[in-house]
Every structure is written in C-alpha cells, then in structure tokens.
Structure 1
C-alpha cells in the first residue's frame, strides 16, 4: 500500500483518478482570480520600479521589468496545474476512519476528518467528479502539505456519502 497508516487506522475506500485530464471546472475560477490578482501586483511593481528608477536610475531597460513580472505571473498561475500534470497519473486516494490521504508520488498528503471544513462536490456525466474539502481558492499544487481536493474521483457520490457519514457534515453539490 502507498500510505503509512496511523495506529488503529483502517482504509475504508481506495481509488485512483478516473481521467487523466489536468483541468477541472473550478480551475477557470482560479485562473480568472489569479489573472486579476497578478494584474494588480504587476501595476504595483511597475509603480515601485518607476519610483526606484526616478530615484536611482537603476533600471536600464523597462522591458526586462515587464518580462520578469509576466514570467512570475505565468509561473504562479501555472504551477498547480503543472504539478497536477506531473503527478496525476500516479496518484492514489485513500479514505480511512481518521483522515483523507492523497499520495501523488512518494510523499503522502493528508487531512484529518475533524479538520475538513466543507464538503462540496461536482459530478460529471460519467459519475466521476471532484470533492472539495476546504475553502481554498487555489488548486492543490506542489506547496500544499494537506489535501484540499480530490479530483476525478470515480463514483464520486459513493465517496462523498462516506465522507459525509464520517464527518457528520452534509455534502453540497456545486
């Protein structure tokens, strides 16, 4: 098995993502938010760079500032999606009697059932879907140590019903 169980912990469900696509419907919200955020950040950086330029004449070339800002924004927007592309094909999900675990490679990420804030899910026509376990706007990426979402879960209603029973929270469909 790909996960180290805690003492007295039992696996109740195990599965792998049903599809290999990287994008999900909520990702469009993330990309839209991130573009707005980075546009504001870009304007602030340009304003600060303008002040520094006027004060010290430090920047010899403004296109370098623009390229650096644009590169930073693209990397921040794309990082979770790149991470997902690199790891989704080898990811395994576990629901135990104590936590939800995602193993996207060598290191497992988990969240205790008592720490699950929200239980939202979307269902695709084939019965697979996405389960959201917290209120994060950003998709799960490299820097996240806990599980915030399970994507492309086969038989999503079965897993949501199990999580709802274990956490005592009602599941809401988006």
Structure 2
C-alpha cells in the first residue's frame, strides 16, 4: 500500500500473535489534526470556560477588591490561567498533528492495532465497548471503538479511535462482523 505521502510502508510493521492474521491495514488519508466531532468538544470547552470565568469574576474579583484596591496582582494569575487553558485545548490537536504522518492501523482477527513510529497500541476485539463512525462524503472517517478513553487515547496503551481511516464503512463493517456489535454512525 502506498500512502498519500508517497513513502512505501512495510506490509506489516507489528508483531503478530501466534495464529493472528491481518484482515485490514491502512494509514490516515488526511494529515489534518481536526475531526468533524471536534466542534462539539470545542463548544463544550468554550461554555465551560465561560462559566468558570463568570464564577471567578463573581467570587475572586470582589474578594480581591475587599483585600486590596489594587488588582494588578491578578494579571499574572489570569495570564497563567489563560495560557494553561489554551494549551489544554490545543494539546489533542498538536498530538494528532505530530503523530498522524507516522501512523498505520491494523485490524486483525484478534485485535485492533495502531502503530505510531515505534509505539504500538492494541485493543483486543473483546474489549471494544463502542463501535461508531463519522463518515465523510469521500468515504474516509473517524472510527471510535472505546468510549472510556480520552480522544485519540493520548498517553493510553489502548487504541480508542482510528482517525481519518480511508474506507471507514469497510472497517466498521469488518469490526462489526468480528465483534458481533451493531455499529452506529454519527453525523
């Protein structure tokens, strides 16, 4: 298989278990770190931050004014809070941007494997608790297989989702057949 980047990938870059067979292999078709489902997460984050900002304004500012009329000591705290919040929002996108070009996905008859550089993460087919996909008009999509793990399984040893899969419906149908679970499709 020759990915969009033009480099040839070895047929199997993962150690297979005894008797295990690769049923599907693919690499992300897009290098963008954004998914269609990210807009919901960003909207929630924006509302959460707005609520937190209102809470801080209602509680902290009156206390600070009562303590001292000079609020200049709050600026470094607010700046640090905003910087940490921006990093928290940007982290999944930065992580995807850095790892997607080096990613290859495998579906075997026993597990789902994601290889990113030298890092290998696996999920046994019996451990899949959610099987859903968001499919784009070109057939590529985002396949989610674990609802318990943070997006993209950042710092996790398991595979939580397959991002920008070239033939998402085929992968979902294969996983549905292997696990016996009904797949759902997200808008």
Alignment TM class, shorter chain as reference = 0.7 to 0.9
Residues in 1 aligned to 2:22 and 2:103: alpha-carbon distance in whole angstroms? 16
Kept after mapping to 1: 8 A contact 2:131/2:145:
yes
Q: Which has the bigger relative contact order, CA under 8 A and spacing at least 6?
A: 1
- Counterparts in 2 of 1:106 and 1:68: CA distance versus 1, 3 Å: same
Indicate which of 23, 32, 43 corresponds to 2:34: 23
Give CA-to-partner distance per residue, 1:103-159, whole Å, 9 cap, x none.
122111121111111111121111111111122584215323321111111111111
- The alignment covers a number of residue pairs equal to 172
Residues in 1 aligned to 2:13 and 2:60: alpha-carbon distance in whole angstroms? 48
TM-score by length of 1: 0.85
Alignment of 1:36-51 (within 5 A): 36-41=47-52, 47=59
Residues in 1 aligned to 2:175 and 2:150: alpha-carbon distance in whole angstroms? 22
Corresponding residue of 2:5: none
Residues in 2 aligned to 1:106 and 1:52: alpha-carbon distance in whole angstroms? 51
Corresponding residue of 1:4: 15
Indicate which of 152, 159, 173 corresponds to 1:147: 159
Corresponding residue of 2:75: 63
Q: Can you give the 5+ residue segments of structure 1 that lack an aligned partner in the other structure?
A: none
Corresponding residue of 2:6: none
Corresponding residue of 2:7: none
Root-mean-square deviation (CA, aligned residues, Å) is: 2.6
Indicate which of 142, 152, 158 corresponds to 1:130: 142
Corresponding residue of 2:112: 100
- Over alpha carbons, which structure has the higher Rg? 2
> Does residue 24 of structure 2 align to residue 13 of structure 1?
yes
Kept after mapping to 2: 8 A contact 1:14/1:94:
yes
